[in-house]
Structure 1
């Protein structure tokens, strides 16, 4: 008896006698009905789509403007979240009627601003904070004209969105970000930084014998962040994606030791944890301290559990004397302006772009795969082996039996641990002719490529080589989601494609290593190097024909050179290059070249919607900055910080000239964070605020970070 095929709705309706006879004849009737079934499936999908388009939750993106028009929801921006808009406006349209019912209330303003910008928002009614002469019949005990100088917790919040200190009247306009404290003024405070949670990270031993460790696996000082506990507006400062203050953590730990529950340190998802070899440290055993001088907690008494000192401002921790474990694991959150570089954010869209960069589609299932984890618990698939080091995984790839051209391999790192090893020499990655290999951070089965939630760190160098000749299939190496403290090098050979996506190869420690943070390639005459959403200290190419950058940051080396690719054709799209550039030809769009660029073939290529110093020797420019010599002294990029360990690394400062902050082709900022579309978000919010304010209110938009 031939079973009914659920994917063939017409064929399975035939009587069994006809299907059996059709199978005996080689399925000619089934082949005939396949044409009818294809059209039937298209018709069914169209009908299902028409039904889904009746509802804002399930409609297609192109339907949103029509639904908004029915509700009278007009205004600037693109409701689909396309090139003209910042974020999809599905929630904005869905909440239209509810927003109108509670127009002008703080809760409605917060929800609307979050729907428009996609950022956490806190609304402050500044008219409630005016210092006034109180009536004895209507006392307001909380409205104190003079702050209590003994209340250090309240004083620490002065100037923040959580400041409750009264002020005298300020008559300047809030909509120009100047005045705040006046009758009818409300302020919308936006947090643009995102807090990325990392779990199972190996703390870095600065001096294990002295008990000195850093939360950052690269050994840098970086602030620990709070993260939003829900989608609602931040009610407390610990609900906002902002650096965690020492005093705030100290208050939380003090209350916890007094027996009060803690929403930050208790529960299944604590804000930070420290785990020693004998188990996790209880939150009550943590001490918040200023560890600028690396002070250690006291040694534990007999039988007592050890205490651990934590400094959230510097991201440091110290252990008591007599305790020197080989491994300390931590969980924490760090801040970033966007999904750039190595991180636990969702990289699946970037990974799909990286896999398509070679021009040859990747198969649904790889021919060869292996999982890597320092604490192996299985890959989720018994057929996939698991090893504890990257070197063992690379050796298994290099020595696999029966290597053939066209094979696709996957090495999936399935934790956020630190791998203190070098993939060089005998353990370097070999890419035979026609083979392709991807090394990525991915949870679950390697074949599923679940590229999110992990941030593994490699302290050494990755070296790749493609010996042998050329075959019909291109040879390719893809690195995704890795934090590399050393460098990435390609030895002379015949590699066709190197793609580095969602990786970080820059940091304070890079300068102490030979060529740390560098991507270099030598004598590969067909090699095309592509960087996507990557941060590195520089790129150096020798006898390599092609380099492409997209949404990336290149930092300068010690000699000030960020890109040394004189024999290569270079394409730069929405990237920030902080050092000098040398290239054979250059095409640049929506990018910032902070230092001088030297191009050999200036008759080829172009610069469009980008910034380059006036003394650069580059191809023809189109709508670039500075526009003329008169503007050269005024129009120049300004950044929040150029420290790779700082949360705002590479982000344009608020006082950056508008010609650069809004100079990209789509009206966004030039440089690596063009995809954030910050100017478009702020413009959309400013253009739609009047629809949400009741009569007599004036709103100001303020940046909280």
Structure 2
């Protein structure tokens, strides 16, 4: 019970209260001071009680409770472990379940932020069984009648028995042995794209063959993971973002297909029933045809779907009259290049009466009309205008936009959308003095974006300018030598969380962060002043970026945690694949550079550091200085193996620009904070893996050993 000053005062005899009232209530004032101190004492006592429990204790108490139970802090790179309170709270519960597969799986998901599956490899050993304890599911021979175990061979869901593997699992080499437990992690996440127009195959005279991807390219469909808050069983395929195979779609169609599921198809506003969907191989035959075409049958027309390639083949009776839309999930490593993820904090302009919003569709039907309306709004005194696209539509337009003096226009996709802009001609951006254009959340293909006149600022956030402009169905660029963006004016360009093709700019300044600049091949130009191989690009400042292609810049002010993956071909006129004119100023730090790169001073870059360390080690072992020939031999050997290794360099592939697990660790942990170099630096993948290994040391049973395997 809280003792207020009035309650204490009421406890006094009436005679004292009367006398106190006669003298101006000095006693009441004294009791008020005493009551304040009593209240503080009660609050402190209550907090002391609360501090005994991790759920209610003060923040300063958390480390002490953690120390009492032996808690070790982790890298706070994942939201679930950024504050140790929850982990300390779960420690006792985890220890009660110590060593169980479901608990290890929960632990792996919590500390890495990735979907996980734990496999007890000792249960998959081909052994002579004790007849009083027969394990019927552990069969040494493979049954060819059971399709699902065969489908899952060499996957995280492999259930067949294997011979013993005596290699250590700790370095991810061996698997099947008595003390071994494996943790499979999915680095690729499933990103939804809802009500996106299905795109017809070019030159399909019957209009019956379609692609899921808005760029009309092959893309694997990813299963929408059904995640559990608390893991009570080992993850199955439906619980992880795994590619859908043709056989799995056939056998589990009702699991993957339908509204709110992994994918769905709508024809003329009506959802195609799952009874009409048939899983099928729709690969190319080499003659321009696909492997199969649905026949017309008496019991209803069938729609053929290839989840491996992301293709659809329709019967003649279901040829869409107006529209055909698809909802599906595609795979990628992180929030980059636009998508149905949270982007609201990157919006530059906030709608106000002075900053109106033009909606597409709605107020205007096309982007060109919206720009014309923005010009009209400028005449009415609105110098800042937002053009917002509120769907995942496909806008095939020819755009030329004029920005007036000091006008700011932000063309953006609404939060959670990624529309596709198919340019029918080069997009000319004309800006008067002080004009600024901001692009956010767009997928742009078809032609080049270029500027003229006096555009002051151009900013791109979470955009994709398709490398090669247009792609073949297999993802190869149709015009690999053409640039995605050409800046012909002295403009300040900012690029963040984007994927772009070749970028040409002669003057001004450029800042690129957390992005991919992809020239479609390491021997082509990624960044320069022009394609004639003589003009240097504008002053460059970059961080956490992967450049795939040659770079020629007037000056590199700074480059931190970057990968410059480039090389010269036999006919090249460049002196080096990365070439900076001004080498006296600027700095490149914690980055990978190709051999013979001409750059400003470097600090902790690869392979420079590895070469220097190896030369020093060799000289110490030999007790003498090495000759130039010997040092050149060491340099050449290291340069041959210390190179970035990517899962894929083809845009549209789920593993695009992702460092492979066999990439040299000098690159995988070579950034200034021991994260990886390049565009996925902020994922902190080495720290996530380190967190998991730290926790497994505590929670594995005695004698057990764990290995980490990347499923994607």
Matching residue of 1:398: 375
CA distance in 1, matches of 2:56, 2:401: 45
Matching residue of 1:25: none
CA distance in 2, matches of 1:679, 1:635: 18
CA distance in 1, matches of 2:699, 2:354: 52
Is 1:106 the counterpart of 2:114 in the alignment? Answer: no
- Report the Cα offset of residue 320 of structure 1: 1.1
Matching residue of 1:621: 602
Summarize the Cα distance change of 1:63–1:185 in structure 2 as closer, same or farther, 3 Å threshold: same
CA distance in 1, matches of 2:527, 2:60: 41
Deviation string 1:560-591 (CA, Å, 9 cap, x unpaired) is: 00101425110111100000111110121100
Is 1:569 the counterpart of 2:567 in the alignment? Answer: no
Is 1:275 the counterpart of 2:239 in the alignment? Answer: no
Summarize the Cα distance change of 1:436–1:71 in structure 2 as closer, same or farther, 3 Å threshold: farther
Matches within 5 A, 1:652-663: 652-663=659-670
CA distance in 1, matches of 2:458, 2:377: 21
2:456 to 478, 481, 496: 496
Is 1:432 the counterpart of 2:404 in the alignment? Answer: yes
1:591 to 562, 574, 581: 562
CA distance in 2, matches of 1:334, 1:129: 32
Summarize the Cα distance change of 1:346–1:365 in structure 2 as closer, same or farther, 3 Å threshold: farther
Secondary structure class of the residue paired with 2:453: coil
Matching residue of 1:682: 689
Is 1:152 the counterpart of 2:147 in the alignment? Answer: yes
Secondary structure class of the residue paired with 1:492: strand
- Report the Cα offset of residue 241 of structure 1: 0.9
Is residue 202–residue 329 contact of structure 1 (8 Å, CA) maintained in 2? Answer: yes
CA distance in 2, matches of 1:490, 1:59: 58
CA distance in 1, matches of 2:664, 2:353: 49
CA distance in 1, matches of 2:518, 2:61: 43
Deviation string 1:429-471 (CA, Å, 9 cap, x unpaired) is: 32222221111111xxxxxxxx22x11111116735344335x
CA distance in 1, matches of 2:153, 2:351: 56
- Report the Cα offset of residue 536 of structure 1: 1.0
CA distance in 2, matches of 1:579, 1:63: 52
TM-score (norm 1): 0.80
State which drifts further: 93-102 or 55-64. 55-64
Is residue 143–residue 166 contact of structure 1 (8 Å, CA) maintained in 2? Answer: yes
1:120 to 115, 119, 127: 115
CA distance in 2, matches of 1:276, 1:63: 59
State how many pairs are aligned. Answer: 603
Is residue 499–residue 531 contact of structure 1 (8 Å, CA) maintained in 2? Answer: yes
CA distance in 2, matches of 1:514, 1:92: 49
Is residue 341–residue 502 contact of structure 1 (8 Å, CA) maintained in 2? Answer: yes
Is residue 86–residue 681 contact of structure 1 (8 Å, CA) maintained in 2? Answer: no
Matching residue of 1:73: 71
1:143 to 131, 138, 144: 138
- Report the Cα offset of residue 91 of structure 1: 4.3
CA distance in 1, matches of 2:212, 2:225: 20
- Report the Cα offset of residue 369 of structure 1: 0.8
CA distance in 2, matches of 1:702, 1:94: 28
CA distance in 1, matches of 2:371, 2:62: 48
Is residue 529–residue 548 contact of structure 1 (8 Å, CA) maintained in 2? Answer: yes
Secondary structure class of the residue paired with 2:555: strand
Deviation string 1:215-252 (CA, Å, 9 cap, x unpaired) is: 00101111111121113476322321121111100112
- Report the Cα offset of residue 681 of structure 1: 0.7
Is 1:175 the counterpart of 2:186 in the alignment? Answer: no
- Report the Cα offset of residue 92 of structure 1: 2.9
Is residue 338–residue 418 contact of structure 2 (8 Å, CA) maintained in 1? Answer: yes
State which drifts further: 231-240 or 645-654. 231-240
Summarize the Cα distance change of 1:234–1:402 in structure 2 as closer, same or farther, 3 Å threshold: farther
Is residue 585–residue 605 contact of structure 1 (8 Å, CA) maintained in 2? Answer: yes
2:516 to 553, 563, 579: 553
- Report the Cα offset of residue 322 of structure 1: 5.1
Summarize the Cα distance change of 1:577–1:414 in structure 2 as closer, same or farther, 3 Å threshold: same
Matches within 5 A, 1:323-362: 323-325=318-320, 326-349=322-345, 351=346, 355=348
- Report the Cα offset of residue 194 of structure 1: 0.4
Is 1:505 the counterpart of 2:465 in the alignment? Answer: yes
CA distance in 2, matches of 1:70, 1:347: 41
Is residue 462–residue 488 contact of structure 1 (8 Å, CA) maintained in 2? Answer: yes
Q: Which has the larger radius of gyration?
A: 2
Is residue 433–residue 466 contact of structure 1 (8 Å, CA) maintained in 2? Answer: no
Summarize the Cα distance change of 1:465–1:198 in structure 2 as closer, same or farther, 3 Å threshold: closer
Deviation string 1:20-50 (CA, Å, 9 cap, x unpaired) is: xxxxxxxxxxxxxxxxxxxxxxxxxxx9xx9
2:282 to 270, 288, 291: 291
Matching residue of 1:672: 679
Matching residue of 1:213: 210
Summarize the Cα distance change of 1:165–1:683 in structure 2 as closer, same or farther, 3 Å threshold: same
TM-score (norm 2): 0.79
Is 1:225 the counterpart of 2:222 in the alignment? Answer: yes
5+ unaligned residues in a row in structure 2: which ranges? 1-43, 285-289, 472-476, 530-535, 567-576, 612-634
- Report the Cα offset of residue 115 of structure 1: 1.0
CA distance in 1, matches of 2:463, 2:59: 31
- Report the Cα offset of residue 188 of structure 1: 0.9
Summarize the Cα distance change of 1:561–1:120 in structure 2 as closer, same or farther, 3 Å threshold: same
State which drifts further: 122-131 or 554-563. 554-563
Summarize the Cα distance change of 1:184–1:700 in structure 2 as closer, same or farther, 3 Å threshold: same
Secondary structure class of the residue paired with 1:175: coil
Matching residue of 2:621: none
Is residue 537–residue 556 contact of structure 1 (8 Å, CA) maintained in 2? Answer: yes
Deviation string 1:176-216 (CA, Å, 9 cap, x unpaired) is: 21222222321111111101011101111114534111100
Matching residue of 1:256: none
Matching residue of 1:37: none
Deviation string 1:605-647 (CA, Å, 9 cap, x unpaired) is: 1110001112111111100011132532221111111010211
Matching residue of 1:422: 398
Summarize the Cα distance change of 1:480–1:702 in structure 2 as closer, same or farther, 3 Å threshold: same
Matching residue of 2:502: 538
Matching residue of 1:643: 650
- Report the Cα offset of residue 398 of structure 1: 2.0
Matching residue of 2:422: 459
Matching residue of 1:579: 549
CA distance in 1, matches of 2:192, 2:111: 24
Deviation string 1:380-422 (CA, Å, 9 cap, x unpaired) is: xxxxxx33222222221122263447x2211111111111112
Deviation string 1:146-165 (CA, Å, 9 cap, x unpaired) is: 01022222111011111111
1:600 to 575, 581, 588: 581
5+ unaligned residues in a row in structure 1: which ranges? 1-46, 254-261, 356-360, 377-385, 443-450
Tell me how large the CA RMSD over aligned residues is.
Answer: 2.8
